[in-house]
Structure 1
Amino acid sequence: MEAFLKEYSTLLLYEKNLSENTVNSYQSDLKKFFDFLNREGISDPDEVTSEIIAKYFEEIRRIGIDSSTSARYMSAIKGFWNFLESMNYVSSNPTEKLSGVPKSRKLPSVLSVEEIDSILKCVDVSSPIGLRDRAILELFYSSGLRVSELINLRIPDLLFEDEVVRVLGKGSKERYVPVGSSAVYWVNDYLKRGRPFLKNKVKSENIVFLNRRGAKLSRMWIWKIFERYSNEAGIEKEIHPHTFRHSFATHLIEGGADLRAVQEMLGHADISTTQIYTHIDREFVKQTHRDHHPRG
């Protein structure tokens, strides 16, 4: 196998024009796999099966190799066996049946309840714009809407008698999302005392949240609203509209909400997307232990 690796490295250097450092990295990753094969008593590439490769990745997972490194190892192994197959050095390619190693998702930034309160309190509600901004922030946190869902809300979508809003999510899928009493109060207050001063007969139609010209807000303007009030509140975390969505989901799960219910509220097609919030919850629990346990 070492002889094959030497030939493969020459190919990468002189035909694929990869740098020497890159080739050395490939060699290092593959030699780790070869060491594993030696421990398994395998010296012939034709003896390597997809099950053997899967066993290798299970082993490195147990010793704590992260998913990004595992994905790199998989890429090196696939590239090497593709080379062996192209040169007819093996009768079959065991990597064809293998999918890539999924990379772990970066946990999104989440605000505490106290941080959200401090942002909300920064809004001056004595003006129509302030009333609008407070209503937007309250609704984001209360219902976990996406930016596109919020800016496209129309007045008939506010079904406050049933304590829900109707939204058109990804893939034009309609769903009904619960809305809390605080958000209902502030949206209604905006509709009564703020929106009439922003309304434009030509541009407004039935859009709920309007800019100064009476037209629908842009996605960029929503970002500016979050940036402004988080700065005023002295929040040092990176804040964007999705941060309120992440916080909405995380606080529900911290409070014991059912994962399927949170999936429905967020409009996730696959529950695996929602499960990232259980990881955030575990981080919250660990941080609580560190902060409050006498030997944390």
Structure 2
Amino acid sequence: MLRACRSARDRFIVLLLARAGLRRSEAVGMRREDIHFVLDASVLGCRIPGSHLHVVRRDNDNGAWAKLKHSRAVPVDFLLVQAYDQYIVERDACREARNSDFVLVNLFRPPLGAPMPPGSLNDLFDRLSRRAGLTDGVHPHALRHGFASNAADAGAVLDEIADLLGHASASSSQVYVHPDPQRLRSAVERVGALAPRRNG
């Protein structure tokens, strides 16, 4: 899907959902003040270390809102920071977008500079799926599931995944985790390696 993107903004959106696990409304509701893509955000009045973003519930003009009332911080990696930097260069070339506080704005069709509504991400993913030649279209929420599964495969436990996804309880995150088949095989092999000791 990244190869099917025709703009830095669209690449940033795909990576934002895939590597930060945001809901589409959380993504299009983000403001520029929510982005702390620096090693030390203390100068911004934030004590969270490393590059991260904040998901904050607000009443937004574009109809986007975070599901939970409490805000959360989501750590991000270098790929997402790099994609954001490329997007900002593209965004700043659009005069109408420069004064918008929203991170994701219309750059290619009117009204230029206006915040993207949540449904526009569905339209974008439909286009990207077609361009990528995918028989089954990929929806924005599928990337959230992929993020949770990737985090689990990398060793994150359920309560960590719940915090990253903004779930009130770890049980809500269980449906998002789809373990890699190789990880399941490894789990069975680890049990098999312990069995003789316990039976002996």
TM range (shorter): 0.7 to 0.9
Matched to 1:187, the amino acid is: Y
Following superposition, the deviation at residue 236 of structure 1 comes to 2.2
Matched, 1:120 2:15: no
Partner of 1:178: 75
User: Within 5 A, what are the aligned runs for 1:31-50?
Assistant: none
Corresponding position of 1:248:
147
Q: Name segments (4+ residues, structure 1) moved above 3 Å.
A: 286-289
Find the residue that maps to 2:96 and give its secondary structure.
coil
User: Does 1:207 pair with 2:94?
Assistant: no
Q: Distance in 1 between matches of 2:69 and 2:84?
A: 24
Q: Which amino acid aligns with 2:14?
A: L
Larger Rg belongs to: 1
1:285 counterpart (173, 181, 193): 181
| CA–CA separation in structure 2 for the residues paired with 1:190 and 1:140 | 15
Deviation of 1:286 (Å): 7.7
Task: List per-residue Cα deviations over 1:202-246 (Å, max 9, x = no partner).
Answer: x95311111131100011211111111122112223411101111
User: Do the aligned partners of 1:204 and 1:215 also contact (CA within 8 Å) in 2?
Assistant: no
Tell me how far apart the structure 2 counterparts of residues 145 and 245 of structure 1 sit (CA, whole Å). 6
Gaps of 5+ in 1: 1-118, 125-129, 290-296
- Which residue among 127, 131, 154 is the counterpart of 2:8? 131
Task: Report the TM-score when normalising by structure 1.
Answer: 0.51
Shift of 1:263: 0.5
Q: Give 2:130's aligned residue.
A: 231
Cα separation, partners in 2 of 1:256 and 1:210, compared to 1, 3 Å = same
- What SS class does the counterpart of residue 54 from structure 2 fall into? strand
Number of residue pairs matched? 161
Contact 1:204–1:210 (CA under 8 A) maintained in structure 2 = no
- State the SS of the aligned residue for 1:274: helix
Secondary structure at the residue paired with 2:30? Answer: coil
Tell me if 1:261 matches 2:160: yes
1:194 corresponds to which residue? 90
1:287 Cα deviation (Å)?
10
Q: Whole-Å Cα distance in 1 between the matches of residues 165 and 183 of structure 2?
A: 25
Change (3 A) 1:199 1:143: farther
Paired-residue identity, % = 30
Structure 2: give runs of 5+ residues left out of the alignment: 39-49, 57-65, 186-200
Query: TM-score of the superposition, structure 2-length normalised?
Result: 0.74
Alpha carbon RMSD of aligned pairs, Å? 2.1
